[in-house]
């Protein structure tokens, strides 16, 4: 293909961001908005704990997939949504993106921030990141990209810069948490299956019940409250044994868990206010406390990688607090579910 290829402009690409989210949630949110969906209502519906030992990768967009290879389907398990990781051909990588755009699909492209002039890490730090490509102009030598992560950018990028970033080996140098894995021309081909069903109290209650069931699950994955306890025990043991690699992994892994808890909590709190249900709003606040409890765990892991044994006590304290925050939030959700079923939480 030659010339200009751009997604139809009748649907605007908007930025959406929250303090706890990564590029995974922010890029997907832009796709949801473009389809007329509420990103909070979609991204905040599911809440779980899932840790897959040996699977954690140093990428900002890492997520422990319940559906093998389907990142978006794992992130939105209650929606008709899915995704496939694809690799662009070496001969002409842009063809894959042009084909997606011609089919009215916005590709989410993996990149190395080191090669992107609009990122603060430009020519300084290598790190794996995601952006949306929504237009390609071979004549001008530019692509149009969207990145909601601060400082946020929406506009042209030289094709040469995209290709450098998109095919980077992403070497591990100064940055320990999101570098060391090749980018290799990867891009995420997303199918949203919209429109989504309305988020009624009944539908939210069904999702909350399914979330609770997953936390009670005793399946093969390291998941639910049992998996959370195992994760904490392993992390503290690794610190006491001086295992830097395992301690270090808690930082990128914890970001996804933290982001999901923050969005689920915000959704419950928002709907609690909208539906005049203070019990639901309180449950949301409790889930948001889980997100905040992830912060010291991740920070201790980040600092602790240099001298894990010195941080073992802090990690033991913080992971125990994280488990308590989960237990308190789940108890609050059980109470809130009863109000959704019988309407007792509504005022007036």
Handedness of CA 238, 242, 248, 254 (dihedral sign): positive
Q: Classify residue 347: in a domain, yes or no.
A: no
pLDDT tens per residue, range 38-93:
999 999 999 999 999 999 999 999 999 999 999 999 999 999 999 999 999 888 99
Q: Classify residue 152: in a domain, yes or no.
A: yes
The whole-number pLDDT of residue 221 equals 81
The count of domains in the chain is 2
Tell whether 214 and 285 lie within a shared domain: yes
Q: Classify residue 196: in a domain, yes or no.
A: no
For residue 219, name the pLDDT band (cuts at 50, 70, 90): confident
CATH code of the domain in which 290 resides: 1.20.120
- Look up residue 147 and give its two tokens: 């990145």
Tell whether 171 and 296 lie within a shared domain: no
Concatenated DSSP letters of 196-225: PPP--HHHHHHHHHHHHHHHH---SSEEHH
Return d(Cα 102, Cα 100) in angstroms, integer.
5
The whole-number pLDDT of residue 178 equals 93
Tell whether 185 and 213 lie within a shared domain: no
What is the pTM assigned to this prediction? 0.94
Among residues 154, 74, 168, 45, the alpha carbon closest in space to that of 106 is found at: 154
Tell whether 315 and 296 lie within a shared domain: yes
Tell whether 115 and 221 lie within a shared domain: no
For residue 137, name the pLDDT band (cuts at 50, 70, 90): very high
- Count the neighbouring beta carbons within 10 Å of the beta carbon of residue 44: 28
155 burial level (CB within 10 Å; 0-12, 13-18, 19+):
exposed
Tell whether 165 and 244 lie within a shared domain: no
Tell whether 183 and 240 lie within a shared domain: no
Select from 191, 209, 239 the last residue of a domain: 191
Select from 157, 191, 225 the last residue of a domain: 191
Which of helix, strand or coil describes residue 78? coil
Listed range (7-16, 187-196, 306-315) with the worst mean pLDDT: 7-16
CATH code of the domain in which 84 resides: 3.90.70.10
Tell whether 135 and 36 lie within a shared domain: yes
151 cis-preceded (ω within 30 degrees of 0): yes
In terms of residue numbers, what domain contains 179?
Answer: 4-191
Return d(Cα 319, Cα 293) in angstroms, integer.
8
The whole-number pLDDT of residue 346 equals 43
pLDDT tens per residue, range 156-195:
999 999 999 999 999 998 777 999 999 999 999 999 999 9
Select from 191, 216, 251 the last residue of a domain: 191
Tell whether 41 and 135 lie within a shared domain: yes
């Amino acid at each position: 293909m030659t010339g200009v290829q751009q997604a139809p402009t009748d649907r605007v690409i908007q930025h959406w961001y929250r303090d706890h989210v990564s590029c995974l949630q922010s890029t997907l949110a832009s796709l949801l908005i473009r389809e007329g969906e509420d990103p909070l209502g979609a991204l905040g519906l599911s809440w779980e704990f899932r840790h897959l030992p040996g699977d954690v990768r140093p990428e900002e967009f890492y997520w422990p997939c319940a559906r093998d290879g389907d990142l978006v389907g794992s992130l939105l398990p209650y929606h008709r949504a899915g995704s496939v990781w694809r690799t662009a051909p070496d001969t002409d990588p842009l063809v894959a993106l042009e084909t997606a755009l011609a089919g009215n699909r916005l590709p989410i492209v993996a990149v190395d921030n080191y090669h992107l002039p609009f990122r603060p890490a430009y020519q300084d730090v290598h790190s794996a990141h995601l952006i949306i490509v929504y237009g390609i102009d071979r004549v001008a030598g530019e692509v149009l990209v969207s990145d909601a992560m601060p400082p946020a950018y929406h506009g042209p990028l030289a094709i040469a810069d995209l290709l450098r970033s998109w095919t980077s080996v992403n070497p591990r140098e100064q940055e320990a948490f999101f570098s060391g894995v090749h980018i290799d021309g990867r891009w995420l081909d997303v199918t949203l299956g919209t429109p989504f069903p309305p988020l009624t109290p009944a539908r939210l209650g069904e999702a909350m019940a399914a979330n609770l069931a997953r936390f009670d699950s005793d399946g093969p994955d390291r998941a639910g409250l049992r998996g959370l306890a195992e994760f904490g025990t392993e992390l503290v043991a690794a610190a006491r044994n001086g295992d830097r690699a395992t301690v270090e992994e808690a930082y990128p892994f914890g970001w996804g868990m933290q982001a999901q808890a923050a969005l689920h909590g915000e959704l419950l709190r928002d709907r609690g206010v909208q539906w005049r249900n203070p019990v639901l709003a309180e449950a949301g606040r409790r889930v948001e406390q889980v997100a905040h409890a992830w912060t010291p765990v991740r920070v201790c892991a980040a600092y602790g990688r240099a001298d894990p044994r010195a941080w073992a006590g802090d990690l033991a304290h913080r992971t125990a607090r994280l488990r308590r925050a989960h237990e308190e939030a789940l108890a609050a959700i059980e109470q809130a579910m009863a109000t959704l079923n019988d309407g007792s939480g509504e005022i007036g």
